[in-house]
Amino acid sequence: MNVTIVDYNSGNISSVINSFKEVAKDKVNIEVTSDLNKIKSSDKVVLPGQGSFKSCVDALHNINGLVDTLNQFTIKDKKPLLGICVGLQMFADVGYEETETDGLGWISGKVSKIDNQGGKFKLPHIGWNQLNILKDSKIFNDIKNNSHMYFVHSYEFVPEDKNVITATTDYSSDIVCSVEKENIFGTQFHPEKSDKIGLKIIENFIDL
């Protein structure tokens, strides 16, 4: 089985690569590439994202044909894709970080700044916080409710259809921290930085 981590120059993704390789061992081939043919032929794709919504969307569009290839893989071929942090946020129709920017439009909704309630909550939201698991998700197999995950973000994904939300975390309000819609999975937290529980989530995705 081939799992491809999309490398589109969106910041340092070495921890994502290392975590997937650690979980995969020799059972699964992990490829890190922006090669369109390799992405098309993969069994699963991981879309990481660090930095701002706009910078990540721009970086995707800067690689000719990449957005079309991801649309084909995810929407038409319905193969499993995992978005991490801004990788999840880009599922939205639109984001408001820096300037209004169109997202991929895979899950209707918007990405807006966390309401820090007039400075009561620090932004970015950095560190460990609890998962409030709302419904069964394939990537939460054997993950206990209230497990702690590692977060770094100032913006949150607000989907129109609340049924896609699989978990929230409490920071100023109930912030969406994971979604599942058919073959599309996303985490606002960083599983690659969330110790053994995060590695288990990565393993669950690989084992889908």
- Residue numbers annotated as active site: 85, 190, 192
**Residue 167 · residue 132 · CB < 8 Å:** yes
Pseudo-torsion of CA 41, 46, 50, 51, nearest 10°? 60
Classify strands 173-181 and 109-113 as parallel, antiparallel or unpaired.
unpaired
Whether residue 48 contacts residue 87, with contact meaning beta carbons closer than 8 Å, is answered with: yes
CA separation, residue 69 to residues 40, 59, 66, 77, 145 (Å): 7, 14, 5, 10, 35
